[in-house]
Amino acid sequence: MEYSDAMPDSPTVGRRERKKAATRQAIADAALDLFLEHGFEQASVRDIAERADVSTTTLFAHFPSKEALVFDREEEVDAELTAAVRERPENQSVVEALRAHALKSWVPIASDPRLHQLTALVDQTPALREYAERMWMRHAGTLSAVIAEELGREADDLACSALARFVLEIPTLTKGRHDPRATVETVFDLLIHGWQSQHDSGDAITGSCKG
Amino acid sequence: MEYSDAMPDSPTVGRRERKKAATRQAIADAALDLFLEHGFEQASVRDIAERADVSTTTLFAHFPSKEALVFDREEEVDAELTAAVRERPENQSVVEALRAHALKSWVPIASDPRLHQLTALVDQTPALREYAERMWMRHAGTLSAVIAEELGREADDLACSALARFVLEIPTLTKGRHDPRATVETVFDLLIHGWQSQHDSGDAITGSCKG
DNA sequence: TCCATAAGTGCAACCGTTTCAGTTTCTGCT
DNA sequence: AGCAGAAACTGAAACGGTTGCACTTATGGA
């Protein structure tokens, strides 16, 4: 692998950290190449390590699992969620802040063609779909706590936990629908107003008559 | 393993099926024993197959994965959910039917001490907790379709999909809380009426003032 | 300059899971 | 009753993700 000779991003970041980052990037790149070329299951971690010119031991020192090679952004997502709630404008509710965040950050998956290929890969690969779903749910604890704190409630307040989990279901719920934006809007309307207001097909979900 | 010589449960069920069921049961029993004795990760499938006196090949012919050894009831859950919605009394809404089902079938986990041990095991084992969560979500497709059909909506109606997924989050949400019954009730109230009605700590979740 | 330590190596092992080429056991049919 | 064929089961071997271990190398701070 090659180390760029551009000037260091900042004086405090030494050669060591740069090399480490480069190694990590080399592994991620090799993985993406092989995944897109042969599919997720077809590419073995030994192959990936080989192409990145590292040992498999090193590979697993940087990524906790094969699936994790695809998703580099776990921590950032957590941070963004927290920020979206904490730093929302005055006079904006928590739910509104989450809706805004969902619309701004989750809806535009596309544009970059390479990234588009990747989402296609994830959709086609059950192991990756599952991993992605779990990935979202892993943030439920953090988000729930932030919401509770922001509203001055008990850390394990049920309404907050439930809200967090339900909001984090949205990416999954959105997947495969033609109009993600409308989907997000609809789900938030449901969350805010509840299922009692469903009257559109002549029979309310919460009404009494059988279909 | 030994085959009971009691009279066949019904004339149509042959020796073959009985033996198959017996084998399956022997495997499940061996697994439960070893899991409770040594923990989930400590018991290898080879050990389990050994104790059940079958080959590992046979073990995997009966169970699709090691985790599945713990959960025998996948299909029944699906059937019960469907029945709960389809065969609800007249003048009961879908959401009410689901609430009733949750209260009747999901809340009483305990009583049997062996079963209690098992839930403890699941709680302690991340792999099993994750598997259990996914197990619930696997029913989302079925439930969603049943709800939609029952209400005469499109099969992929968003409100139905969302309702299904949110309801199936409830077992996870309930876990580890002192009063499961109250938890279920609260979550259903939130689902029915939405988060707009949250005014209890001086600040509505959907209100405007920051914490 | 020297040393503690982080990063990386290579190999062997473990474990879940699958494949394969059989053998045994049952069932339905004649 | 007798047979063909399917289904259950076997044993061993392999594969692929993951980890442990003993070791070398590179780096940064004292």
pLDDT digits (tens, 9 = 90+) for B15-60: 889 999 999 999 999 999 999 999 999 999 999 999 999 999 999 9
Ramachandran category for residue A88: left, alpha or beta (phi over 0 → left; psi -120 to 50 → alpha): beta
How far apart are alpha carbons A71 and A114 in whole angstroms? 14
- pLDDT for B205 equals 59
Q: How do residues A74-131 score in pLDDT, each as one tens digit?
A: 888 899 999 999 999 989 999 999 999 999 988 876 667 788 899 899 999 999 999 9
The pTM assigned to this predicted structure is 0.86
Do A15-69 and A74-197 come out as alike in CATH topology? no
Q: Does B82 touch chain A (CB under 8 A)?
A: no
Domain ranges of chain B: 15-69, 74-197
Number of other residues whose CB lies within 10 A of the CB of residue A76: 9
Q: Does B210 touch chain A (CB under 8 A)?
A: yes
- pLDDT for A207 equals 53
**What are phi and psi for residue A27, nearest 5 degrees?**
-65, -50
- pLDDT for B80 equals 94
- pLDDT for B188 equals 97
Q: Does B183 touch chain A (CB under 8 A)?
A: yes
- pLDDT for A175 equals 87
Does the pLDDT value for residue B208 go beyond 80? no
CA angle B89, B94, B99 (to 5 degrees): 90
Residue A167 · residue B131 · CB < 8 Å: no
Please report, rounded to whole angstroms, the spatial distance between the CA atom of protein residue A60 and the C1' atom of nucleotide D12: 30
Q: How do residues B167-184 score in pLDDT, each as one tens digit?
A: 999 999 998 898 889 999
How far apart are alpha carbons B72 and B125 in whole angstroms? 17
- pLDDT for A12 equals 66
Chain A environment of B144 (Cβ under 8 Å): none
Q: How many residues does the structure list for chain A?
A: 211
Q: How do residues A119-133 score in pLDDT, each as one tens digit?
A: 899 999 999 999 999
Please report, rounded to whole angstroms, the spatial distance between the CA atom of protein residue A153 and the C1' atom of nucleotide C12: 53
Contact A211 B152 (CB under 8 A): yes
**Out of A83-87, A102-106, B153-157, B203-207, least confident range:** B203-207
Q: How do residues A26-63 score in pLDDT, each as one tens digit?
A: 999 999 999 999 999 999 999 999 999 999 999 999 99
* CATH number belonging to domain B15-69: 1.10.10.60
The CATH fold assigned to B74-197 is: Tetracycline Repressor; domain 2 (1.10.357)
- pLDDT for A186 equals 96
Q: If you count residue pairs, one on A and one on B, with CB atoms under 8 Å apart, how many are there?
A: 142
Instruction: Out of B137, B162, B203, name the one closest to residue A152 (CB).
Output: B203
Q: How do residues A5-24 score in pLDDT, each as one tens digit?
A: 444 444 467 888 999 999 99
- pLDDT for B210 equals 45
Three-state DSSP state, A15:
helix
Test mutation, A198, A200, A209, chain B, max B CBs within 10 A = A198
How far apart are alpha carbons B20 and A199 in whole angstroms? 50
Does the pLDDT value for residue B104 go beyond 60? yes
Q: Does B177 touch chain A (CB under 8 A)?
A: yes
Q: How confident is the model at residue A210 (pLDDT cuts 50, 70, 90)?
A: very low
State chain A's mean pLDDT as an integer: 88
